[in-house]
Structure 1
């Protein structure tokens, strides 16, 4: 069986490093290129990281992107020209950016999730069912904790759960989104969905 040729963006990041290790330990994948948003003067498993470009992506079957929204949109612009498949694990997109990703998905295959875990996706589905069953009269909020290195808040996982609540209510998520708190000991319920994000230590996530 032919191996799937991969490009991993953000190769020096936490997720990038983990993806590289997983790809190298798998018989199903072959790393053909790595990219970063700056010049890197060292090789990683024999590959010198490049900037996002046509030359960096041209030999890949799939591009895996766990970076930041600005970088992801740059990747999609290039991938769209090359007709490359893209897996997106980046979080923190605005509504405008989400709509732009949907536009790109009409031209190339895109798999996107704020959390790739089967358990979290099941939890999102169960949240949607609970929200639909409880109706419009109940109040909700989302509380999440991640390690201190995570830059975006709320996290992609928290937003997924918020979207589950909104879908259950048959409401637009962005219209239902409330306040976004950071490192608050307590935060209120609301008719909208409030979020509280804790960032501390080396908590797994």
Structure 2
């Protein structure tokens, strides 16, 4: 324990070493390196046989700046946490970003300039911000998905199939629950589920989504997709799509118990990008679910 604590308090000195010539490992940088998701990603990268931590970025106010990115694990990776984007991306082939929209967009620009590919799990983007990312994908390869979990994306495929089969006579509701610290609602995953359903029904989510119900709402309008958001405790992420018909109800649910599922999915996205030069992809592309 004493050794681990000491390691946490030691700043890293010296430059990050570039990968050996001819290395087949994926050189991965992590944004938000000192956050909960950042820690999970770094741990997954260290445990991987084909990925190597090549950079760690965080905001300048983070207490982790200057310390080893893997210090929380009691290991020395030789990669310091830095607020300098150029330093953090110097030896990276791919940046994994689960931060905030403004920070992610700054990273998109930096990666575009340096030819670094991206895995984006950030949510809460406006349509205009999504357009900026799509524009950057003309020059670099990007996997962007509101949820990197393999299980969630398989769930989305099941939801798509159900929506096509239950297109008439069923009311559709999406219920999601997350921890008290989540700042956007509905979750990006819930919105993506709504988009998948709307597309399967030949509709636009903008025209069919219902995000609020209060007071005298009148009868439920057919062909709408309702959303409900729950915030509390340390819930990692629960999503249920309800198809309510006459005499029966179908529920398709995914519950995440750990952020490790997002990390493992992100590494699958990293491996997928190894074969891509440019373009905007999602987890359906990564998992072959088209």
Give the TM-score band, short-chain normalised: 0.7 to 0.9
Paired with 1:38 and 1:136, the residues of 2 have a C-alpha distance of 53
Q: 1:178 aligns with which of 192, 210, 222?
A: 210
Following superposition, the deviation at residue 137 of structure 1 comes to: 5.8
DSSP-derived class of the 1:44 partner: coil
**Is 1:22 paired with 2:54?**
no
Q: 2:94 aligns with which of 62, 72, 75?
A: 62
* 1:192 counterpart residue number: 224
The CA RMSD measured in Å over matched residues stands at 2.1
Bigger Rg over Cα: 2
Q: Which runs of 4+ in 1 moved over 6 A?
A: none
Q: 2:56 aligns with which of 34, 44, 54?
A: 34
Larger mean Cα displacement after TM superposition, 106-115 or 116-125? 116-125
* 1:6 counterpart residue number: 28
- In structure 1, stretches of 5+ residues that fail to align are 182-187
Q: 1:157 aligns with which of 169, 184, 189?
A: 189
How many residues in Structure 1 have an aligned counterpart in Structure 2? Answer: 199
**Is 1:134 paired with 2:166?**
yes
Tell me if structure 2 keeps the 8 A contact 1:67–1:90. Answer: yes
Paired with 1:7 and 1:44, the residues of 2 have a C-alpha distance of 11
* 1:185 counterpart residue number: none
Distance 1:158 1:52, change over 3 A: farther
Tell me if structure 1 keeps the 8 A contact 2:55–2:90. Answer: no
- In structure 2, stretches of 5+ residues that fail to align are 1-22, 71-77, 214-218, 238-290
Distance 1:128 1:158, change over 3 A: same
Following superposition, the deviation at residue 63 of structure 1 comes to: 0.5
* 1:90 counterpart residue number: 122
Following superposition, the deviation at residue 27 of structure 1 comes to: 2.2
Residues 134-161 of structure 1: per-residue CA shift (max 9 Å, x gap): 3366432211111222222211221121
Superposition TM-score, scaled by structure 1 size: 0.86
Following superposition, the deviation at residue 52 of structure 1 comes to: 5.0
Tell me if structure 2 keeps the 8 A contact 1:95–1:174. Answer: no
